[in-house]
Chain A
């Protein structure tokens, strides 16, 4: 019972901290994108391509953390999620 409760807490922490990390990263990235676009609007197409790539880097680990959290919740904890 205690181990199961710890698994719920672990899954929730993985989901929550992963989401917080992604939020901070994407917020900083968006702010820098706006700064760059405001300074040199002619570079927007290039900035957008770089934004796509860096956005992929920023949300890689949070999505993996969410995936492992979901795995813990749905597959490891017995009786959760059907």
Chain B
């Protein structure tokens, strides 16, 4: 069974916040200490780009609804995502000698933490309030 599936709003929200935080951290560092800004931008992009690829592979195109085939597709996409992240990191670390590693990894970690912070915050703010009786 072949389905046309679009990316769910929750995942779009996560991806949007990842890029937003990347640009916010970069802008803040550009103002505060601008030689660190490019490292922050690279760290955020290294996290967000593979996630975008993974989401695109997982939710768009034609996908087969059987669980086993779906899992195989997910594993292939995950392998490519990890390879992409490692390749981007290696390219940055080899070619960009002035990179500030703490900024790079800190931005990477902050942007990656969107994966669990954004669903948590969204869930808290959209939870219906229970009336006390």
Point out residues on A near B: beta carbons under 8 Å.
22, 26, 30, 33-34, 37-38, 41, 44-45, 48-49, 51-53, 55-57, 59-60, 63-64, 66-68, 70-71, 74-75, 81-82
Contacts and interface: CB of A to CB of B under 8 A. Distances in A.
Contact of A74 (B8, B67, B93, B112): B93
Contact of A33 (B5, B54, B65, B71): B71
Contacts of B60: none
Contacts, number: 93
Number of contact residues on B: which range applies? 35 or more
Contact of B78 (A37, A59, A70, A81): A59
Interface of B: 5, 8, 10-11, 14, 51, 54-55, 58-59, 65, 67-68, 70-71, 74-75, 78, 81-82, 85-86, 89-90, 93-94, 97, 99, 101, 104-105, 108-109, 112-113, 115-116, 119
